Chain A
Amino acid sequence: MVHAFLIHTLRAAKAEEGLCRVLYSCFFGAENSPNDSQPHSAERDRLLRKEQILAVARQVESMYQLQQQACGRHAVDLQPQSSDDPVALHEAPCGAFRLAPGDPFQEPRTVVWLGVLSIGFALVLDTHENLLLVESTLRLLARLLLDHLRLLVPGGANLLLRADCIEGILTRFLPHGQLLFLNDQFVQGLEKEFSAAWSH
C-alpha cells in the first residue's frame, strides 16, 4: 500500500538559491495523531501532514544530491541537451531509504524516489512492499506525468495548475494507493482511456 505520493523540486548539489518545494502531494487515506482531543486538532493534523511531506521531500533531495555527487554528476548535467531529447527515464537516478518510526511518521516507512532532471517523484510505503513493483510504478507515473503535462518541454504547462491531470493519472494507475501489476498493453489501454477523457 502506498501512503503518499509527492512531486517536488530537486536542486543541484551546492545550489545556493531556492528551497526544496513540494509541487504536489497526496495522502491515500491518513492517520491522525492519536490521543488528540484539542479543539484545533484538525488544523494541527493538517499542518503535521504537510510537514511530514516536506520532511520526505527534503530527505529525497539530499539523497538525490549525494547520489549525484557520488556519480560525479553536477549541476551542468541537469540541463537537457535540447527539448527534443527524450528523457531517459530508465536511466533516471532512483533510490530507497527507510524512515524510522516517529520520524516523521508514526509507523516505520520506506521511501522510494526517482529524480528526473529537476523534479523528484517519491512514494511513501509500508515497509514490506514489492520494491520491484514500486520502482516500475514510480517510473510509469513519472513517464505519464512528464508526457501528459509536457513538463520538460519549454513553454509546457506548469504542473501546479494541472492538478486534474495528476489526479486523473493517479486514479487510474495508483487507485487509492494500490500498486497495480499492469502489463504494457494494459497500461496502453488505461492511457488511451485517460487521454480520451482529457482531450475534450
Chain B
Amino acid sequence: MRHAARPGSRRRCGHCFASRPCLERAARPQGGGGGGMLATGTESLLRQAREVGAEELGRFCARVSALLQAEDWGPDALDALRRLFLIVAATKYSRRLEPTCVALLQTTLCSPRCPERLQLLCAAVLREMAPSDSLSLSCDHAQSSRQLGLVASVLLAQGDPQQVRTVGQCVIKVLESRQPEGPSLTYLLPVVSKVTSLAPDALPEEQTKALSKRLGEWLRYASVQQGAAHASGGFFSTPRARQPGPVTEVDGTVATDFFTVLSTGQRFTEDQRLNVQAFSMLRAWLLQGGPARPGAADADDRSELEGSTVSVLSAASAASHLLPPAEWLREKALEYCQRLLEQSGRRALRKADSDLQKACLVEAVLVLDVLCRQDPSFLYRALPCVRALRTRLCGDTACVRALLPIAQFFLHHGEAAAVDADAVCQHLFTRIPSEHFHSPMLAFEFVQFCRDHLVLFGSNLDLLRTSFPNLFKFLAWSSPALTSGFVALLPVLVDAGTAVEMLHLLLDLPSLTAALDLQLRASQAASERPLWDVSVRAPGCLEALRDPQAQGLFQHLLRAKASGTVERLTPLHQLLQPLASCARVLQCAQAVPTLLRAFFAAVTQFASGALASQLALLLLERSDSLFQVEGYEADVHRVLSSQFPALCKLHPPLVVERAKELLEFVGSLGGPRSTGHMLTSVVWAVGEYLSVSWDRRCSAEQISRFFEALEALLFEVTQSRPSAALPKCPPQVITVLMTTLTKLASRSQDLIPRVSLLLSKMRTLAQSPAVGPVHGEDDLGAVRTRATELLNLLKMPSVAQFVLTPSVEVSQPRYHRDCNTALPLALDMVSRLLEREAGLLPGTRPPQHLPLEAVPGRSRALCSSPE
C-alpha cells in the first residue's frame, strides 16, 4: 500500500483518508442485513470526510496533484479522486483546494487520453465546489463532444447567466458543424435543452431556427435499420459483425413506419439516439420557441433546407421543407405524435415497454396540445386522434393517468372540443377518485390538474365543485402530500350552495379515511402487499356493515357528488371506531384543522347572513359529534371556537335569531367539559351581540332568559366538587361567564343587583383556594380580579353600559385617535377608577394570564374578542 499511514501522523481522520484499509473497513459493514448496513459505515465515513482539516486536505491535494501530473490514471488516482469528491461533497461549507490541484483537475477533464471515470470524477469535484471563483475552464478546452458535455456540466453549475449563454453558443456551434463523421451530437443535445431551460433567450433566433429544422429531421427521418455492430454510427460495439435488420415495434413485429422512441432493436444508430433525445426535449423546445417568442419572424423565412443532413426519405416530403423552421418542426412533431399514439396501442412484449407506452401517450397528447395552442390549424388533425384515444382509454384502468392530459387538451381548445371536455371531465370527476383514490401519484397529479386548470373549467367548474366528496377521497387517503394542494383548491371548490355540506364532510374526513380503508378491505382479496394497515384488524366492522342502516350511511359518506342532504353519521362513527387508531386516520385527523382554517378563510369572503348563521349552528351541532380519534376533538374545537366569533361578527343578528339554539347549547352542558373552547366563544358572542344595538328584535325578555341560563351555568361550573375524574373548569369559562352576565345586566339594569351579588360571591369563592373547581393561585387571582373589576364598573351603570356595550362606531379608528371624542376620555377615566379600586383590595394583583386581558387598557379588554 503506497499511501499507508505516514509515520508520525497520529490524526485519525488523516490516517483514514490517506490509507485504504481504514476506509474499506468503514465502508464495509460487519455483517447485518441491508436495512441497517447503511447506517454504521456511512455515518463514520461521512464524519471522517467532514473532519479532514485544512492541513490534511492540503497534503491530500498534493497527492492527487502528483498522480494527475504524472498522468498516472490507474486505481490509485481513481481511489484518490473518489475520496476527494467525498471530502468536498460531504460538507456544506466550502472546501479550499490547492490551486494546482484545481488546475490539474481541469486539465485532466480535458485530456484526450484520460479514462472516462476519472474525467467524470474531475467534473464532479469541480461541480461540487461550484460556484467557485477559481475556475478557469472554458468550452474551448474540450477535445471531444463528450468532454464538451462534461465541461458544460461544470460551467452550468456555476449559476452565472453569462456563462450559460457562452456554453449555449459554444455547443450550438459544434451542433451546427455538419460533417457526417463529426462529433457525436448525443452528448450535446441535452446541454442545449438545459441551456434553454436556464436562460430561454440564450440562443440567437437564427440558431434556434436551424436547430428546429434539425430536430424535425431527427424526429422524422431516423434510420429504420438497426445499428450495425461495427458501423461508424453504431454505439454498442460487440466483436461480432452481423447484418443489421429493420427496427421492430414493441410487439415484436417489423416496424411499419418511421423510427420513434417506441421502436426497438438490438443496437441503435447515432441518428436513432438523436431521435430519442429530440423527442425527449421536444415539448420544452416547442414551448420555448413558440409563436409567443418575441421577434420570431417565421413567415418570411420560407427557404429550403440548405446543406443539412436530410436523409433520403425526406425527399418525399420536399414540399414541407418549404415551411419555415418552427412550422416545419411542428409538422414533424404532429406526425411523430400520431405515430406514437398508434404504437402505444400495440401489445408490448416487455413490462418496461408497456410503461413507456403510457408515458409516451401522455407526452404525445401534451405535445399535440402545445402544437394546437401555437397553431390552431393543427386542431382539425389532432382532435380526431385525441378523441379516438379518449374513447380507447376511458375503459382502461391501466392508462388512467393519461386521461388528465387528454382532459387538458379538450379544456384548452374549448370552442372546438366543448362536448369532449364535458364528457372527459364528467368521467374524471365522477369515476376516477372513487376507483383510484389509493394511488398517491395519480392523486397528486389529479389535484395539480384541478389547480392548474381552474380558469379553463368554465361550465365544468360547477361539476368540479359538486364533485368535492369525490375529490376529498384523495385527500382523506393521502393527506400529508395533498393538504397544501387542497388549501389552495378550497377557495374555488366552496360556494354558497355547497359550504354546509362541505364543512360537514371536512369534519368527517377522518371517518371518510376509515370508510375508504374498510371499502378496500371489503373489496380486495388479501394481496401480498395490502394498501391498508394489516396490524389493525377490523373483523367486526365488515360484519356490522351488513346492517342496512349502516350500509346507507356508509354509501352516503362515500358518495361521489354533493347530495344536498346531511346525514347524522354518529352510528357510523361507532361502527368505524376500531379503525380510528390507524395511522392513516390519525394523519388525516391532523390535517383537518389546517383545512378548516382554509375553508373558513374562503367562506367568510362571500357568506351571506343566512349562510353565516347556518354555519354557526353547524359548529355548535358538530362540536360534540365528531369521530373519536386521538386528539382530534380538541384540535377541531380550537379551530371552531375561533371561527364562531368570526361568523357572529359577519352577521351579528344571528345571536338574536338563533337564541333558541344557543340557549340549548349553553343549557345542555351538564357538568364541566373537557375543553372550554366552544363554550367560551359562544358565551362571549352572547355578551357581545345580544343587544338592541345589533338587532332591534332583541328584547329584555330574551336578555333575561340568557341571563338566567348563564347564571345557572356559572353556578354549576363553580359549585361542582373537584374530582379526579372530571377535568377542571378552565378559568376562562368562569371569567367569560361573569363578564357576559355583567354585560347583559348593563343592558337590562334591573339585573344589576343580581349580578353584583353573584360577582361578590365569586370574589369570595376565589379567595379560598382550598375549595371550588379552579385550582392554582394564578387562576384564582384572575377570577378574583375580573370579579372586582366588574363590580367596580357596575357601580356606575351608565359608564358600564357605555363600556360594555359600545356603539358600532367604536371600531372606527377616529374613536381611538381623537382625544376629544368621548371614548378615549371615558376609557381613561374608567381604567384609572378601576386601577385605584383594585389597588385598594388586599391580595389582588394585576392579571397576567387571561387572554381576555391581553389588550392594553384593561377595561377595553372587556369588550374585545376572546381570542
Binding site for B on A (CB under 8 A): 1, 9, 17-18, 21, 23-32, 41-43, 45-47, 50-51, 54, 62-63, 66-67, 69-72, 74, 78-80, 82-83, 91, 94-98, 100, 110, 112, 117-119, 126-128, 130-133, 135-136, 151-155, 157-158, 160-165, 167-168, 171, 175-187, 189, 192-193, 197-198
Provide a sorted-by-A list of 28 A–B residue pairs whose CB atoms are within 8 angstroms: A9-B38, A24-B89, A30-B159, A45-B159, A47-B94, A54-B92, A72-B534, A72-B536, A79-B36, A98-B448, A154-B34, A155-B28, A158-B28, A158-B42, A158-B45, A163-B85, A164-B118, A164-B121, A165-B117, A167-B121, A168-B120, A171-B149, A176-B190, A176-B191, A177-B194, A181-B279, A185-B265, A192-B236
Task: Name the residue on B nearest A43 (C-beta).
Answer: B94
Contact in complex: B33, A83 (CB < 8 Å): yes
Contact in complex: B532, A71 (CB < 8 Å): yes
Contact in complex: B193, A178 (CB < 8 Å): yes
Which residue in A32, A100, A118, A130 is a CB contact (below 8 Å) of B38? Answer: A118
Task: Kindly list chain A residues whose C-beta atoms are within 8 Å of the C-beta of B83.
Answer: 161
Which residue in B129, B266, B362 is a CB contact (below 8 Å) of A132? Answer: B362
**How far apart sit A119 and B35, CA to CA, in the bound complex (Å)?**
9
Task: Kindly list chain B residues whose C-beta atoms are within 8 Å of the C-beta of A158.
Answer: 26-28, 41-42, 45
**How far apart sit A164 and B445, CA to CA, in the bound complex (Å)?**
34
Contact in complex: A183, B33 (CB < 8 Å): no
Task: Kindly list chain B residues whose C-beta atoms are within 8 Å of the C-beta of A41.
Answer: 131
Contact in complex: A181, B356 (CB < 8 Å): yes
**How far apart sit A184 and B276, CA to CA, in the bound complex (Å)?**
13
**How far apart sit A162 and B27, CA to CA, in the bound complex (Å)?**
11
Q: Is the interface of A mostly helix, strand, loop or mixed?
A: mixed
Contact in complex: B235, A79 (CB < 8 Å): no
Q: Per-residue 0/1 for B435-473: is the Cβ within 8 Å of any A Cβ (1 yes, 0 no)?
A: 000001100110010001000000000000000000000
Task: Name the residue on A nearest B132 (C-beta).
Answer: A42
Task: Kindly list chain B residues whose C-beta atoms are within 8 Å of the C-beta of A155.
Answer: 28-29
Contact in complex: A28, B34 (CB < 8 Å): no
- Closest 4 A/B residue pairs (Cβ): A72-B533, A50-B92, A32-B159, A158-B27
Distance in angstroms from A195 CB to nearest chain B CB is: 11
Task: Kindly list chain B residues whose C-beta atoms are within 8 Å of the C-beta of A28.
Answer: 153, 156, 194
Task: Kindly list chain B residues whose C-beta atoms are within 8 Å of the C-beta of A1.
Answer: 193-194, 197, 284
- Taking CB atoms and an 8 Å cut-off, the chain B residues in 687-733 that contact chain A are none
Distance in angstroms from A199 CB to nearest chain B CB is: 11
Q: B587 at interface (Cβ–Cβ under 8 A)? A: yes
Q: B130 at interface (Cβ–Cβ under 8 A)? A: yes
Q: B86 at interface (Cβ–Cβ under 8 A)? A: yes
Q: Per-residue 0/1 for B514-539: is the Cβ within 8 Å of any A Cβ (1 yes, 0 no)?
A: 00000000000000011111111000
Task: Name the residue on B nearest A40 (C-beta).
Answer: B94
Contact A130-B27, Cβ < 8 Å, known A158-B41, A176-B152: no
Task: Kindly list chain B residues whose C-beta atoms are within 8 Å of the C-beta of A126.
Answer: 197
Contact in complex: B587, A97 (CB < 8 Å): no
Task: Kindly list chain A residues whose C-beta atoms are within 8 Å of the C-beta of B355.
Answer: 132, 136
Contact in complex: A154, B131 (CB < 8 Å): no
Q: B157 at interface (Cβ–Cβ under 8 A)? A: yes
Contact in complex: B33, A79 (CB < 8 Å): yes
Distance in angstroms from A109 CB to nearest chain B CB is: 12
Binding site for A on B (CB under 8 A): 23, 26-29, 31-39, 41-43, 45-46, 49, 78, 81-83, 85-86, 89-90, 92-94, 116-118, 120-121, 123-124, 127, 129-133, 149-150, 152-153, 156-160, 164, 187, 189-191, 193-195, 197-198, 235-236, 250, 261-268, 276-277, 279-281, 284, 350, 352-353, 355-356, 358-360, 362-363, 366, 401-402, 440-441, 444-445, 448, 452, 478, 480-481, 484-485, 529-536, 582-584, 587
Contact in complex: B27, A21 (CB < 8 Å): no
Distance in angstroms from B570 CB to nearest chain A CB is: 26
Task: Kindly list chain A residues whose C-beta atoms are within 8 Å of the C-beta of B193.
Answer: 1, 176, 178
Identify 12 new A-B residue pairs, CB closer than 8 A, beyond the known A130-B362, A163-B82, A184-B352.
A27-B127, A45-B159, A70-B584, A112-B441, A132-B401, A153-B34, A154-B33, A165-B117, A175-B149, A181-B276, A183-B263, A193-B235
Task: Kindly list chain B residues whose C-beta atoms are within 8 Å of the C-beta of A187.
Answer: 352
Distance in angstroms from B65 CB to nearest chain A CB is: 19
Distance in angstroms from B439 CB to nearest chain A CB is: 10
Contact in complex: A71, B531 (CB < 8 Å): yes
**How far apart sit A54 and B129, CA to CA, in the bound complex (Å)?**
17
Contact A72-B281, Cβ < 8 Å, known A163-B82, A176-B156: no
Q: Which of B34, B85, B277, B530 has the most CB of A within 10 A?
A: B34
Distance in angstroms from B455 CB to nearest chain A CB is: 16
Task: Kindly list chain A residues whose C-beta atoms are within 8 Å of the C-beta of B129.
Answer: 46
Task: Kindly list chain A residues whose C-beta atoms are within 8 Å of the C-beta of B43.
Answer: 18, 21
Task: Kindly list chain B residues whose C-beta atoms are within 8 Å of the C-beta of A185.
Answer: 264-266
Task: Name the residue on A nearest B238 (C-beta).
Answer: A192
